[in-house]
Structure 1
Amino acid sequence: MYNYQFETNCGHILAFKSKYHIASLTPVIFKDATFIRFEDVEYVVKLTDMKEVKINGVKHQIRAYTVQ
């Protein structure tokens, strides 16, 4: 299990556990937004609204894949 703590651009925290590592998931990319789905916990995360993520306590920056 991976422990996730996503921090949004406005400072809110979304925390959950998933059996999937974010690197193994395929993002859904739209022109102005990118989403990732953790199907085991039924969460969809809008990566373009996230500042950073902690995975098992280690901070990572979010790559949003948006087209400008």
Structure 2
Amino acid sequence: MSFQAYIDNIQKKTGKTPADFKELATKKGFLKDGNLVVKATEITNWLKEEFKLGHGHAMAVYATFKGKTK
């Protein structure tokens, strides 16, 4: 599955774009000035619990926080 397919599936499931998740993560204190201030596990656990994402999909969102888009 391509990275874009992961992102598309996440948006279909949650109704949220990577930018939406970034805004939510900033509000939760996971990002400050656009930079991650927590470990990947904290982010993936949040996404799994709150949005019922699987590990691979949670990691795709995390990757967008790190600036990876492919």
Query: Same fold by TM-score, threshold 0.5 exceeded?
Result: no
More helix by share: 2
Which one scores higher on RCO, CA 8 angstroms, separation ≥ 6? 2
More strand by share: 1
Structure-1-length-normalised TM-score: 0.30
